[in-house]
Amino acid sequence: MTMIVILVAFVAIMLFCAGLAYPLLNDDAVHTRLARFAERPRSLEAMELEVPFSERVLRPMSQRMAGLMMKGNKNTDPRTLERQTSAIQARLNLAGNPHRWTPTDFVGVKGLFALLFGVLALVGVAIAGYTAMSFLAAIVGAIIGYIGPDLYLSRVIAARQHTIQKVLPDTIDLLVICVEAGLGFDSALTRVVQKSDNPLTVEFNRVLAEMRVGRPRRDALKEVIARTQVPDLANFISAILQAEQLGVSVTQVLAVQADQMRVLRRQRAEEAAMTAPLKMLFPMVFFIFPALCVVLMGPVWPTMANSGVSI
């Protein structure tokens, strides 16, 4: 009996000592969390290395290239330069500006690509042994590199406009549901922005942000038309603004617009289905029909050739 009591006492003392030593052997959760918010000051070099490569290297290079190109155009009229800058900024806005470029950055990127493609074409043709054509290849490569960013931007603009046109009917349906549930138009826009993530909701989120800083809703919505240039979205926003001006119920306008957008989507689907046979004609003529002729005429070709029959 005495041995059992001693054993129990020994185990209890060991557990007590382990409980006292556990916090010392493990990091305190509170101190660990506080350490995340109170990190040691980092060096300037470490902070610079955390910046993306495009921001550390490519953007300064593009800005320097743009500066050189602007120095070469000193004789250009300032009004012409301003119009060109406004046109570039408008195209960047249409593309959603995914890389946060300024017009200066875009011009610099075009210059960098022209220089890069020109040098690559020059070196490639010279290595291939056509030294006499290297200068011409450099010019062609520079032209391709210069217009490449414009082609990329045009493709991004087309893809963004197509996405906005595609998601617009569903977005209007969600707006109708929110407004019919008792929400105001601004609250319905907020709910749509929270539920979806696409270029259209990004534009609506910007509208809400501009309204929070005091900009009128009418002006904010008009800017969406200029930044997207999608006819369906322009018609929808114009109907909303006209209803607000005339005092018409927004719910009725949204319901009519939702029905109209569904009809337009169905008509576009039918139009695409009607053009499908024409698009399939050329692949069939150039790829399917020759192979089919080989399969059908191949077995009888030796017999026809031996008999002297000409096709």
What class, spelled out in words, does domain 161-268 have in CATH?
A: mainly alpha
| Distance separating alpha carbons of residues 50 and 42, to the nearest angstrom | 11
- Predicted confidence at residue 204, as pLDDT, reads 93
pLDDT 10s digits, 116-130: 899 888 888 888 888
Average per-residue pLDDT for the chain = 81
118 contacts 145 by C-beta, under 8 angstroms: yes
pLDDT value for 183: 87
Kindly report, residue by residue over 29-64, the tens digit of the pLDDT. 655 665 555 555 555 566 666 666 666 667 777 777
In this structure, are residues 188 and 179 in contact, taking their beta carbons and an 8 Å threshold? Answer: yes
Q: What is the pLDDT of residues 200-241, one digit of tens each?
A: 999 999 999 999 999 999 999 999 999 999 999 999 999 999
Note if the pTM is more than 0.75.
no
Q: pLDDT digit string (tens) for 264-311?
A: 888 888 888 888 888 888 888 888 888 888 887 777 777 777 775 555
CA of residue 193 relative to chain centroid, distance: 17
Distance CA 2, CA 150 (A): 93
- List the structure tokens of 283: 């692949």
CA geometry: angle 104, 155, 151, nearest 5 deg = 55
Candidates 169, 166, 162; CA nearest to 258 is 169
